[in-house]
Amino acid sequence: MKITVSINVNKPVAQIWRFWTDPVHIVNWNFAHESWCCPTAENDLSVGGKFNYRMEARDKSFGFDFSGIYEVVNVNARIIYTFGDRSAETEFSQQVDGSTKITTTFDMETTNSEELQRNGWQSILNNFKFYAESQS
């Protein structure tokens, strides 16, 4: 089963792309809750390229690497990647008003509920929106 989350961000797609893909920016928004952080990010944004985002609880009680391989990279438009036995697709769509709609569709995993997964991925998009809109 697939889950889709989306958000509109009040920035043009070229800026959104940079904030989404540059490790300097990724570490500032890539977590679902303020009790977590992303202390390091590596990103080889090319077909066959790998990414690795270190996710950690701020109290250092738990952490894991979120990593995968890019299958499709269309600059300013679309990314498809695999992570383990799952995949995700993120599309970036410039809107008439100058904002960018970001839509991510991902394979649901079997450990956590659909609601928990949807809320977690949506929270990351919400963090991204807050971060991107605060940048000049």
Indicate the CATH number of 2-134 among 1.10.10.10, 3.30.530.20, 3.40.50.1980, 2.40.30.20: 3.30.530.20
The fraction of the chain above a pLDDT of 90, given in percent, is 99
Measured CA to CA, the distance from residue 44 to residue 88 in angstroms comes to: 17
Alpha carbon distance, N-terminus to C-terminus of the chain: 38
Is 90 exceeded by the pLDDT of residue 131?
A: yes
| Residue 99, CA distances (Å) to 29, 92, 94, 107 in order | 18, 10, 6, 27
Asked whether the predicted pLDDT for residue 51 surpasses 90, the reply is yes
Task: Delimit the domains of the chain by residue range.
Answer: 2-134
The pLDDT confidence band at residue 106, using thresholds 50, 70 and 90, is very high
Q: What is the DSSP string of 19-60?
A: HHH-HHHHTTT--SSTTEEEEEEEE--STT-EEEEEEEETTS
Q: How far apart are CA 129 and CA 57, in angstroms?
A: 21
Find the mean pLDDT for residues 103-116. 96
Q: 């500032």: which residue's tokens?
A: 28
Q: Which residue has the tokens 């450990």?
A: 111
Q: 106 forms bridges with which residues in the sheet?
A: 3, 88
| Residue 81 in this model has a pLDDT that exceeds 90 | yes
